[in-house]
Amino acid sequence: MIKSLIGATASALLVLSPTTALVLSPTVALAASPVEAAFGNTIVSTYPSGRSTKLWLKRDGTYDAQRTNGKRTAGKWTLKGGKVCLRQTRPASIPLTFCSTVPTGKVGLTWSSKSPKGEPLRNRLVAGRG
């Protein structure tokens, strides 16, 4: 459902290391979102080394993420041109936005993408906020 969502930050996730997010109106996220299946579930992105990150999108246009080192981040997300864009707001960081293609699907969906640093990622949408 989210292409490279979890390598959001170059050092963390998303899709991707979580977290670099984009600031747009939360109402954008509410209308029949292509990421609907992600709400209430977890996007897990795994690097070739086996380390992984987790991303949790919320309907209000915000997200929480867990980096490969276990540290938590948060930010804002939006859809832009068929991509999910992330911008980290906590902890404060360089104001970068990372966008990734959004495949449609449901829990169990897997897809390949790249992290903000260009590393290959294997992503999967898993049930619940695990």
Taking only the tens place, the pLDDT of each residue in 3-56 is 444 443 333 333 443 433 333 334 344 455 789 999 999 999 999 999 999 999
Give the domain range for residue 71: 26-126
Q: Is 29 helix (H, G, I), strand (E, B) or coil?
A: helix
pLDDT at 14: 38
Is residue 16 assigned to a domain? no
Is residue 88 assigned to a domain? yes
Model-wide pTM > 0.85: no
Spatial neighbors of 97 by CB under 8 A, at least 6 apart, are: 20, 21, 22, 85, 86, 87
Is residue 90 assigned to a domain? yes
Is residue 71 assigned to a domain? yes
Is residue 80 assigned to a domain? yes
Is residue 20 assigned to a domain? no
The CATH number that applies at residue 94 is 2.40.128
Phi, psi of 125 (to 5 degrees): -100, 115
Is residue 14 assigned to a domain? no
Is residue 11 assigned to a domain? no
